[in-house]
Amino acid sequence: MSTRYRALVLDLDGTLITDAGTIHPRTLAALRALDARGVRVMIATGRSELGVAPVLAELAMDTPAIVYNGAGLFCPNERRLLEERLLSDRVVARCFDFAERSGLMTMIQVAGAKYAPHPRDEHEQSALRGLEGLRHVSFAELPREYVIRVTYFSDRHAGSGALAAEVEGAIAQPLHVTHFPLNALAPHRASALLVVDVQPPCRGKGEALRVLEERYGIAPEEVVAVGDADNDLPMLTAAGLGVAMQNAMPGVLAAARRVIGHNNSDTIAELAEELFGYASGEAGRH
């Protein structure tokens, strides 16, 4: 194994996960082989702990995962959040004020659950379909305590950046805001909705580099990070090697030091072979 890199940090959607919602078999074998040899394979995702748990179960590794775009750290063995940042009461109040004024579909996420009003049209219904742990309640019943993330959905802004700017201006407090067109996700290619996630102040997915150094003594320059979307930039730019998928957003392609294949291919296995010395067939010997 290369002595230069000791950890591999992977985004999920558009990176490790194919458009069909699976992990390529060769990639899965490669990651398990790396883990068996002592390489730290860490997931860093915008998903909640509910959304990442099935993937971690398939990987069968014990390294905790960055969730909520850096606002949480989830342990697959203990099945709980080891770290959890919460939005302040002031921020939550301003988030609710903005939701009422704007009339945008709003989802509240707390540890272990998501809450949203009943969808008002087929677009909102499609956007919310399949979200793990989602409970539909009235707007008045949305939780206002222990909030990790507030999500807004819009179909009337010019782009997700414009929506994010409006949200940040309305809340006017320190935040970690991420945004994207919903059609960037494979199950929602036909959607016209834009999404903004409001999280507590943090380093975003760059928190993965902090966790690896604090828990395992792995320096940022010893980390390879792979992603495809703008919310991956904090980890790609902080890692020793930032890698973009071929299907990545333009800003990610520009910022990455290297570009590999499409998320529907076994390109991550090839990267593991090259950088960490994994050889095809090795997984079967562990």
Residue 202, pLDDT > 50, answer: yes
Q: What is the CATH code of the structural domain delimited by 89-199?
A: 3.30.1240.10
CA 144 to chain centre: 23
Break the chain into its structural domains and give their ranges.
Answer: 7-84+203-285, 89-199
H or E stretch at 254: helix 250-255
Q: pLDDT (tens digit, 9 = 90+) per residue, 78-137?
A: 999 999 999 999 999 999 999 999 999 999 999 999 999 999 999 999 999 989 999 999
Residue 215 burial (10 A CB sphere; 0-12, 13-18, 19+): middle
Residue 286, pLDDT > 50, answer: no
The rounded distance, in Å, linking the Cα atoms of 67 and 110 is 12
Residue 143, pLDDT > 50, answer: yes
195: nearest Cα among 109, 275, 89, 281? 109
Yes or no: is domain 7-84+203-285 CATH 3.30.70.980? no
Q: pLDDT (tens digit, 9 = 90+) per residue, 61-72?
A: 999 999 999 999
Q: What pLDDT sits at residue 278?
A: 62
Q: What percent of the chain has pLDDT over 90?
A: 95
- Rounded mean pLDDT, 246-271: 98
Q: What pLDDT sits at residue 279?
A: 55
Which residues does residue 226 pair with via DSSP β-bridges, in sequence order?
Answer: 10, 243
Q: What pLDDT sits at residue 277?
A: 83
Q: Does 89-199 match 7-84+203-285 at the fold level? A: no
Q: What pLDDT sits at residue 136?
A: 98
pLDDT band at 284 (very low <50, low <70, confident <90, very high): very low
Strands (E), the chain: 7-10, 40-43, 65-67, 72-75, 80-84, 105-110, 113-116, 134-136, 149-154, 176-181, 194-199, 223-227, 241-244, 258-259
- Rounded mean pLDDT, 133-145: 98
